[in-house]
Amino acid sequence: MPRALLGIAALGALALAAARPLAVRGDALQVGQNAPSFLVASLDGDSITGNFHGLPAYINVFATWCSPCRRELPSIVNEARQYRDRIAFLFVDEQESAGALKSLALKLGGVAPIALDRGQFAATFDVDGLHWNIFIDRHGVVQYIYRGGIPAQILSEQLAKLLTS
């Protein structure tokens, strides 16, 4: 096969591969949908599921190397302390080692579990980058999704709304 045809074939294959995720995007997590089930390991090695036992939930998907993720942590920790018994908080770290999370766990002071995602959570929720803030009501329905660094005011407003939904 001539090189020009090989190049065209390779470009065609790349175009198909690139287009494939776009076709899957219809399955992306949407507001108003039931949150998908998941199972992840906590930093302590325990299993964490999407069963929040009738509580609304806030899930923060992050990585320690993500500067905006680190900047919003103080606001999230304050909110987690305020809503400790009324809203389930969960931090989901994307594909880092447990060692990378040890100092972060100390900063969080045990306000919420930290899950280590090896890709299953990201695939299930169709997380396509960092970072995500997912708000789920007590019935398991996604109420709000904020991609990127969430301003403290929006975080507070959305958490308060979870208690009334």
pLDDT in tens, 57-81: 999 998 888 888 888 888 998 999 9
Q: CB–CB of 79/156 below 8 Å? A: yes
Q: Residue 56: its pLDDT value, please?
A: 97
Q: Say whether pTM exceeds 0.85.
A: no
23 or 37: whose pLDDT is higher? 37
Taking residues 140-162, what's their average pLDDT? Answer: 93
* Rounded CA separation 57/163 (Å): 10
Q: Residue 136: its pLDDT value, please?
A: 95
DSSP 57: E
118 or 26: whose pLDDT is higher? 118
Taking residues 41-57, what's their average pLDDT? Answer: 89
Model confidence at 122: pLDDT above 70:
yes
Q: Residue 18: its pLDDT value, please?
A: 32
54 phi/psi in degrees, rounded to 5:
80, 0
Model confidence at 112: pLDDT above 70:
yes
Rg over alpha carbons for the chain, rounded to the nearest Å, is 18
Q: Residue 28: its pLDDT value, please?
A: 65
Q: Residue 1: its pLDDT value, please?
A: 46
Model confidence at 107: pLDDT above 70:
yes
Taking residues 16-37, what's their average pLDDT? Answer: 57
Confidence band, pLDDT 50/70/90 cuts, at residue 27: low
Q: Which amino acid is at 20?
A: R
Output the CA torsion 5→9→12→17 (10° steps): -160
Edge-to-edge strand list for the sheet holding 47-49: 47-49, 39-42, 114-117, 88-94, 57-62, 132-136, 142-147
Highest-confidence range of 32-36, 99-103, 121-125, by mean pLDDT?
Answer: 32-36
